[in-house]
Amino acid sequence: MAIEIERKFLITDAGVLAGREGVSIEQGYLPVEDPMSVRIRILETAGDARALLTMKKGQSARRRLEFEYAIPVADARVLLEEACGAARIRKTRYRITWAGRDWDLDRFEDANAPLCLAEVELDAEDDRVTLPPWVGRDVTDDVRLLNSRLCRRPLAQWPDEERHALLGDLS
């Protein structure tokens, strides 16, 4: 059984992304009941594209079952258009190694800009993590920031007070 254990943080200094090559991601979600999500994702870098179908089921804020399968890109494009509709996320993902761990840094686009999040996968929920200087508040438990939720209620739809409470001067 595949288990995903991760923590998620706001990025406080997006300058860490400057000059780095990222992977462009477009993803959408098939309509299913929470806490299950089924994601269609197309990843593109330097003209190369691949697609994934991912199923996740929440067990806790930090721990989820995760199953991921490669699918044809053409099939993913049809599913994004026909099954996911307009509720999609576009972001660029960067990978940075810090203190022996790989961090995925996502810069969201469109209605979720200027949100930037950093995720680190762990072996156990109680693993200690050395935080890099470019991360801020731990937002692991903030379900509003799940990609599946940002698809349905992007940052641009949040009331100004709610958005400012999250991002502060970053917005």
Catalytic residues: 29
Instruction: Compute and round to an integer the Cα radius of gyration of the chain.
Output: 16
Q: Give the end-to-end CA distance of the chain in Å, rounded to a whole number.
A: 39
Structure tokens at 82: 């026909």
Contact 155, 115 (CB under 8 A): yes
Backbone dihedral region of 85: left (phi > 0), alpha (psi from -120 to 50 degrees) or beta? left
Contact 99, 36 (CB under 8 A): no
Q: Exposed, middle or buried, 108 (CB in 10 Å: 0-12/13-18/19+)?
A: buried
**Sign of the alpha-carbon dihedral angle for 49, 97, 28, 67:** positive
